[in-house]
Amino acid sequence: MAEIIYVTGPVRSGKSRYAVERASAWGPGVVFAATYLADPRDAEMTERVRRHKEERPADWRTLEAPEDVAGALRGLQPPPSGLLLDCQTLWLSARLDRSDEALLREWQELLDALREAPYPALLVGNEVGWSPVPESAELRRWRDLAGWMGQRSAAAAAEVWLLVAGCPLRLK
């Protein structure tokens, strides 16, 4: 059974940088599963994507927003030395056309597949529960789903880290 590490925290807390540092220990051949929309919608998001790409080691392979992460990973040759998925909240944002039940089932299926994988996985997700209650029903739904997904990721993980102001705090 593969080890899963879950890294969470607020926006701009250093989660992605910490995750890249941790995953770099797995050596060459790490696969980065980028869950952002493959076609960023604006210049600011395009710049974010560019910066994140520059922060990753050059010998890593990238899967950009695969519809079926587990299926896409099964087809990779050679198999990766590890997987870094960044991030689960963007994964959720790209799939909000599905029912809550379908989204949670798909996320659980991915977690189950990662537990059975022959390599470690590091998942990054935003901790959004500390912010104000959003005014719109759509944003409240997204926040609730992100929270439920975070709970499932933490339950599946051998290690859980909270990043605040660039400082990692081990929760599990």
Q: Give catalytic residue positions.
A: 52
Residue spans of alpha helices (H) in the chain: 15-24, 43-55, 69-74, 88-93, 100-116, 137-156
End-to-end alpha-carbon separation of the chain, Å? 18
Q: Which tokens is 137 given?
A: 């029903």
Encode burial over 91-106: b for 16+ CB neighbours within 10 A, e otherwise: bbeeeeeeeeeebbeb
Which of 166, 150, 167, 110 has the alpha carbon at shortest distance from 8? 150
Encode burial over 115-131: b for 16+ CB neighbours within 10 A, e otherwise: eebebbbbbbbbbbeee
Question: How far is Cα 9 from Cα 130, in angstroms, rounded to an integer?
Answer: 10
**DSSP single-letter state for residue 120:** -
